[in-house]
Amino acid sequence: MIESAVLWLLKFLAMPTVGLSSVFLISFISATLLPLGSEPAVFAVIKANPSMFWPVVLVATLGNTLGGITDYWIGYRAKVAFAKERSSRWFHWLAKYGAKTMLLSWLPGIGDPLCTLAGWLHLPFWPSVIYMAIGKFGRYLFMTMTLLYIPNGWWRWAGDTLNRLF
């Protein structure tokens, strides 16, 4: 039963009519503290429909930025949880460089906690959001353009190799 539900969900999310909403949802969730990558979804939608490059990149950036804002507000409200970490070098570094540190919010593993710590430190909201969006947009633009320049033959070879292995 669970397997059929998962297959239905994957089939539903792959439909062209919900491609952008899927990219938005996956990008939003992956920007929270949950470990999920949005790049495969972004790349798959763009590879399936190259004319959707800019809408997909912009929707992914919006979803990922809103997820970062969610992290910011979690941190803003969670002072008690981080009280013992107050003296760590991350806090001093964020306090020193301020909202500009949100340019690094795209980094895997540390970007989401950076957004949370920025909220906890009460860094200025709108400058943080702007720098966050710039960093995330740059990631999607670079990653997607790089992946699109890899020839299709390589993707077929990689898929065939993985199928033989598993």
What pLDDT digit, counting tens, does each position of 46-69 carry? Answer: 888 888 899 999 999 999 999 999
Taking the C-alpha atoms of residue 126 and residue 33, their distance in angstroms, rounded to an integer, is 21
Helices assigned H by DSSP within 78-124: 89-97, 111-120
Look at residue 6 in the predicted model and tell me its pLDDT. Answer: 65
Look at residue 146 in the predicted model and tell me its pLDDT. Answer: 87
Look at residue 79 in the predicted model and tell me its pLDDT. Answer: 67
Please give the radius of gyration of the chain, using alpha carbons only, rounded to the nearest integer. 18
Cα-based distances in Å from 137 to 140, 143, 151, 165:
5, 10, 24, 35
Chain segment 79-100, per-residue pLDDT in tens? 666 666 556 676 777 888 889 9
Look at residue 156 in the predicted model and tell me its pLDDT. Answer: 85
Structural contact between residues 129 and 69, judged by C-beta atoms closer than 8 angstroms: yes
Look at residue 57 in the predicted model and tell me its pLDDT. Answer: 94
Residue at 37: amino acid letter: G
CA angle 127/31/26 to nearest 5° reads 130
**Tokens coding 102:** 């949100």
Look at residue 148 in the predicted model and tell me its pLDDT. Answer: 86
Taking the C-alpha atoms of residue 131 and residue 134, their distance in angstroms, rounded to an integer, is 5
Instruction: Tell which residue, 126, 111, 118, 116, has the closest CA to residue 37.
Output: 111
Residues of the chain with pLDDT under 70: 1, 6, 9-18, 33, 79-88, 90
Q: DSSP letters of 70-89?
A: HHHHHHHH-TGGGGGGTTSH
Structural contact between residues 32 and 57, judged by C-beta atoms closer than 8 angstroms: no
Structural contact between residues 64 and 32, judged by C-beta atoms closer than 8 angstroms: no
Look at residue 15 in the predicted model and tell me its pLDDT. Answer: 55
